[in-house]
Amino acid sequence: MGRFFDIKKIVDYFDLVTKLTWACIRGNTTRATELFNELRMYDYDPRWSEVIEEYLLFKEQGDTIPYVRYKDLSDFVIPIENKLKIAFISDWGTGAKDAESLLLQVMSHEPEMLIHLGDIYYAGTMDEVQNNFYNIIEKNVNLEQTKVYNLSGNHDMYSGGKGYYWLLKHLKQQASYFCLRNDYWQFLAMDTGLNDNNPFTTHLKLTYLDPAEVVWHLDKFKTAGTRKTVLLSHHQFFSDGGVGMDEHGRKVAFNPHLNTAFHKVLDQVELWLWGHEHNLIVFDEYINLQRGRCIGASAFPVMAHKLPYPTKADLNLQGLNAWLTINNQVMLRTNNDGFYNHAYVIMTLEDANARVDYYQVDSIDNGDSELLYYDEIRS
C-alpha cells in the first residue's frame, strides 16, 4: 500500500464513487454503467474498483453469505481462563509492512488470545484473506499458544464472505458471533458486517444484527449471573462523526438498530470495543454505556489533513438531550510523514478485575509501543 497520494486525484476519485453510489441507489443503470467504466479507467484507484467488481460478481452469481445460525442458544459459548491476557486489533488486514510490525508489538505482550474486530482489505477475497491476514498471523503467532478470533466487517462481506468463512474454518471458529466466558467475565462478539455488504451504501446505511442473533446475545445477558460483560463489534455504536444517515440525509450520532437491540442491558456492559473508523477514541459515557471505545487504528493509513478527532458533523441526536463527547487527552499523534499512528489494546483479566491498556505505535518507524490510556475495571 503506497504512502504518498495525489490529493486531487483522491478527491476526484471519490467524487466518482459518490456519483456511482447515487446512480445505483436511484436505479439509473445506464448512468451507473458509464460511471463504473470511468472508474475502471481512472489512474488513481486504491483498489475500490476491485471492490465494486467483486460485489457485482457476487450479486450476479446469486450467491448468499454463508452466515451460520445457531441451533441452540447454548451454541458458540466458549470457556476461557479466569486469568487471561487478550489482545485486540481492528481494521488490521491491509497486508502492509506496518501491519505486520504492529502485530509483532502486540505479540511482545504474550497474549493468550488475539481478537481482530474485522476488515480485511479491500473486498475480503480469498487471496486477500490469505495474504493480508492468515499468512501474516501464521508467520508471527503460535496458534497452539494464542487463540485467534476474527469478527465480520463490511469489507469482509463485499465479495460475499467466501474468504472470511474460509478463514473461520482455519481458525477453528464456528461462527461470526460467539461468547467467551469464564467465572467472572463474558465477551459477546457480534456480526455487524452481515448487513453492511454493499459498497455502494456503506456510508449511508445503518447496519443491524440478524434478528435471531439479537435473541442469542440477549440470552447471554439473561444467563450471565454475576459475570461482567464486554461487547465486541466491527461497526460503531456511536460516533462524533456520525454512524450513517437518516432518511433526510443527516448524519446520526448513534446506530438506532444496535440501540434497540441492547438498550435494556447497556447498564450491564462494562466495555464496548469497536472499529470501522480508523482511529483510537475514548468516548465519555453516552446512552447509558459507561465505556465506549473505538480502536480501528491498527493498520489502515490515515493522513493528518483528515482531522479525525474534532466533531465533524451536524449530528441528529435522535431525541437525546446529551451531546456525545470524547476524552480529548487520548489522541493518536502524527508521525513525521503526516500519518496518524496505529493502535492496539491489551486487556488483562485477573479474576473479577481487569485492566485495559491502549497503545499507540508509530506507523512509519514502528518503534516501541507507547501506553496512551488505560481503563481499570474492578469488582
Domains of the chain: 7-60 (no CATH), 77-377 (3.60.21.10)
More confident residue, 26 or 286: 286
**CA separation for the pair 345, 372 (Å, rounded):** 10
Contacts for 28 with CB less than 8 Å, ≥ 6 apart: none
Q: 173-197: b or e for each residue (b if 16 or more CB lie within 10 Å)?
A: bebbbbbbbbebbbbbbbbbbbbbb
The per-residue pLDDT for 40 is 54
**Closest to 279 (Cα-Cα) out of 306, 315, 245:** 306
Q: Which three cell numbers stand for residue 180?
A: 467467551
Q: Is the dihedral of CA 92, 98, 102, 108 positive or negative?
A: positive
Q: Which three cell numbers stand for residue 363?
A: 506507523
Please, which pLDDT band fits residue 70 given cuts at 50, 70 and 90?
A: very high
328-369 per-position pLDDT tens digit: 999 999 988 889 999 999 999 999 999 999 999 998 776 789
Lowest mean pLDDT among 32-41, 78-87, 142-151: 32-41
Q: What angle do CA 181, 192, 105 make, to 5 degrees?
A: 65
| End-to-end Cα, the chain, rounded Å | 44
Q: Extract the runs of DSSP E, i.e. beta strands, from the chain.
A: 77-79, 83-89, 113-116, 147-150, 178-181, 185-189, 228-232, 269-274, 280-282, 292-295, 342-350, 353-361, 370-377
| pTM (two decimals) | 0.89
Structure letter (DSSP) for residue 199 = T
Q: What angle do CA 85, 87, 92 make, to 5 degrees?
A: 170
Residue type, 183: D
The per-residue pLDDT for 28 is 75
| Long-range CB pairs of 220-228, under 8 A, 24+ apart, other chains included | 220/77, 220/179, 220/186, 220/188, 221/265, 221/268, 224/186, 224/268, 226/184, 227/181, 227/182, 227/183, 227/184, 227/185, 227/186, 228/184, 228/185, 228/186, 228/270, 228/352, 228/354, 228/377
Structure letter (DSSP) for residue 133 = I
Q: What are phi and psi of 153, to 5 degrees?
A: -110, 175
Please, which pLDDT band fits residue 303 given cuts at 50, 70 and 90?
A: confident
Please, which pLDDT band fits residue 71 given cuts at 50, 70 and 90?
A: very high
The per-residue pLDDT for 33 is 66
The per-residue pLDDT for 250 is 85
β-bridge partners, 350: 83, 353
**CA separation for the pair 278, 301 (Å, rounded):** 8
Chain mean pLDDT for the chain: 90
CA dihedral 24, 26, 30, 31 (to 10 degrees): -80
Please, which pLDDT band fits residue 254 given cuts at 50, 70 and 90?
A: very high
- The answer for 335, left when phi > 0, alpha when psi is -120 to 50, beta otherwise, is beta
- The answer for 232, left when phi > 0, alpha when psi is -120 to 50, beta otherwise, is beta
Rounded mean pLDDT, 245-257: 89
Lowest mean pLDDT among 141-155, 196-210, 290-304: 196-210
CA atoms within 13 A on the CB side of 117: 31
